[in-house]
Amino acid sequence: MTRRKVKLAFIVNNSSRKTTYKKRKRGLLKKAHEIFTLCGINAGAIIYSPYDPTPEVWPSVEGMNQVITTFRNLTEIDRHNNMVNQQEFVQQRITKADKLLLKKKKDNREVNLTEDMYRFLQIGQLTIPAGGHNNPALAKDLNDLGYLVDQYLNSLNRRIQILEGGSDVEIGESL
Amino acid sequence: MTRRKVKLAFIVNNSSRKTTYKKRKRGLLKKAHEIFTLCGINAGAIIYSPYDPTPEVWPSVEGMNQVITTFRNLTEIDRHNNMVNQQEFVQQRITKADKLLLKKKKDNREVNLTEDMYRFLQIGQLTIPAGGHNNPALAKDLNDLGYLVDQYLNSLNRRIQILEGGSDVEIGESL
DNA sequence: ATCACTATTATTAGGCA
DNA sequence: TTGCCTAATAATAGTGA
């Protein structure tokens, strides 16, 4: 019966190492459980060993994942940070895009009206490069433009007619 | 000196809970260190507490991250999957938004022209609710509309002038 | 390889400065 | 608070079945 003080060093003997492992593993998990229960704190333990096929986890896989996640969130770690940064980056892009879309869809009549009209005008101007007066594509563009303008003016006339109580106000006629 | 057996339950008293926590934390980490040294296995512990600003980790942040990574690789865990799913979801949204933006910015003149004009027309129609002919806001809208149309027609006139070699073609004049 | 046992060592609750 | 102290409790190394 030699129960001497244990020297803190790797146990060379295979079987006794495994025995010690099993005993101490149980102890460790018990301690973890105790500190959790007594202090109500978040704690976890992971133990791998060549002896167990799956890593020993306490308090539970889910609980441990929470612990790990929080741990990773709190500490600045390469892999996680990359993930977070990527997510933030993507999120920022999404937010930006969403804002843009929201802005596009915003139901402020005047803003939409002005913006759309200016964009329209700008596009119309872009269709006319300086000195490009013999470009066949431009004639087509102009025709399309004329058609659209006619449609627009017609609708505008109809609206004015409604607004002003039936008087038929001619605004214009394109081409 | 009543050092009775501890009941395994949450310690309500704040200060004694913290004291117990600190003591047991040291013990837990020591145990973890021992099982690691004695058995040469991969083990780790994470402890959070409201008391420490950073989570207590053993064997080390790097070692713990290795343990965690392996753990995560080996086990299929909901939260991790959720994170992946979230990323995929965000990625999908971004892709969608990007496509939309790309479409918006697409430099196809005719498509832009048509789209913008139709949107413009549609907005113009939306500014006129049925029977709203005595709504003061509408008059303002109409004035704005008229101004924009004037601008547009002027630019159109200028362009036609350029295209057709100087002949001044009047298209119309709003309101 | 487990178990049960137990001598020892280790941990720690509570008291006190 | 914090650290030390010490009794009480718990963990466990080594053993033998």
Band the pLDDT of B21: cuts 50, 70, 90: confident
User: Mean pLDDT throughout B131-154?
Assistant: 43
How many Å apart are CA B166 and CA B97, to the nearest integer? Answer: 44
Tell whether A69 is within 8 A of chain B (Cβ).
Answer: yes
How long is the CA B152 to C1' C12 vector, in angstroms? 86
Tell whether B29 is within 8 A of chain A (Cβ).
Answer: no
Do residues B41 and A49 make contact, with C-beta atoms less than 8 angstroms apart?
yes
Of B80, B73, B32, nearest in space to B56 by CA: B32
User: Nearest CA of chain A to the CA of B52: how many Å?
Assistant: 11
User: Nearest CA of chain A to the CA of B93: how many Å?
Assistant: 7
How many Å apart are CA A71 and CA A87, to the nearest integer? Answer: 18
What pLDDT does residue A9 have? 83
How long is the CA A26 to C1' C13 vector, in angstroms? 22
What pLDDT does residue A25 have? 84
How many Å apart are CA B134 and CA B37, to the nearest integer? Answer: 88
Torsion region of A166: left, alpha or beta (phi above 0 gives left; psi -120 to 50 gives alpha)? left
Q: Give this prediction's pTM.
A: 0.46
Do residues A86 and B71 make contact, with C-beta atoms less than 8 angstroms apart?
no
Number of Cβ atoms within 10 Å of the Cβ of A92 = 10
Q: Where are the domains of chain A?
A: 14-83, 88-164
Of B126, B133, B144, nearest to A114 by CB-CB distance is B144
Residue A145, C-beta contacts closer than 8 angstroms, at least 6 positions apart: A124, A127, A174, B113, B156
User: Mean pLDDT throughout B44-48?
Assistant: 64
Band the pLDDT of B91: cuts 50, 70, 90: very low
What pLDDT does residue B18 have? 87
What pLDDT does residue B40 have? 74
How many Å apart are CA A144 and CA A131, to the nearest integer? Answer: 20
Do residues B173 and B152 make contact, with C-beta atoms less than 8 angstroms apart?
no
Residue written as token pair 């780790």 = B44
What pLDDT does residue B73 have? 64
Residue written as token pair 């470009």 = A135
Of A25, A172, A120, nearest in space to B120 by CA: A120
What pLDDT does residue A32 have? 81
- Read off the tokens for A156: 């505008």
* pLDDT surpassing 70 at residue B13: yes
Q: Any idea what the Cα angle at residue A131 is, between residues A126 and A136, rounded to 5°? A: 75
What pLDDT does residue A75 have? 55
* Protein-proximal positions, strand D, CB < 7 A: 1-2, 6-15
Residue B153, C-beta contacts closer than 8 angstroms, at least 6 positions apart: A149, A172, B171, B172, B173, B174
* Protein-proximal positions, strand C, CB < 7 A: 1-2, 6-15
Least confident of A37-46, B32-41, B47-56, B144-153: B144-153
Q: Which residue has the higher pLDDT, B22 or B78?
A: B22
Q: Which residue has the higher pLDDT, A94 or B154?
A: B154
Assigned CATH for B14-83: 3.40.1810.10
Residues of B in contact with A100 (CB under 8 A): 101
Burial class of residue B112 (count of CB atoms within 10 Å of its CB; 0-12, 13-18, 19+):
buried
pLDDT tens for chain A, 175 residues: list them.
666 677 888 888 888 888 998 898 888 888 888 887 888 766 666 666 667 666 666 656 666 666 667 666 655 443 444 444 444 444 454 455 444 444 443 433 333 444 444 444 433 333 333 333 344 444 444 444 444 444 444 544 444 444 444 444 444 443 3
Number of Cβ atoms within 10 Å of the Cβ of B162 = 15
- Read off the tokens for A136: 């066949």
User: Is the Cβ pair B127, A148 closer than 8 Å?
Assistant: no
What pLDDT does residue A160 have? 44
What pLDDT does residue A89 have? 43
What pLDDT does residue A78 have? 39
What pLDDT does residue A13 have? 87
Report B:70-109 residues touching A (Cβ under 8 A).
70-72, 74-75, 77-80, 83, 86-87, 90-91, 93-94, 97-98, 100-101, 104, 109
What pLDDT does residue B37 have? 81
pLDDT in tens, B111-125: 344 444 444 443 333
What pLDDT does residue A36 have? 79
Q: Strand D contacts (CB < 7 A) among B residues 142-161?
A: none
What torsion do the CA atoms of B141, B142, B144, B147 make, to the nearest 10 degrees? 170
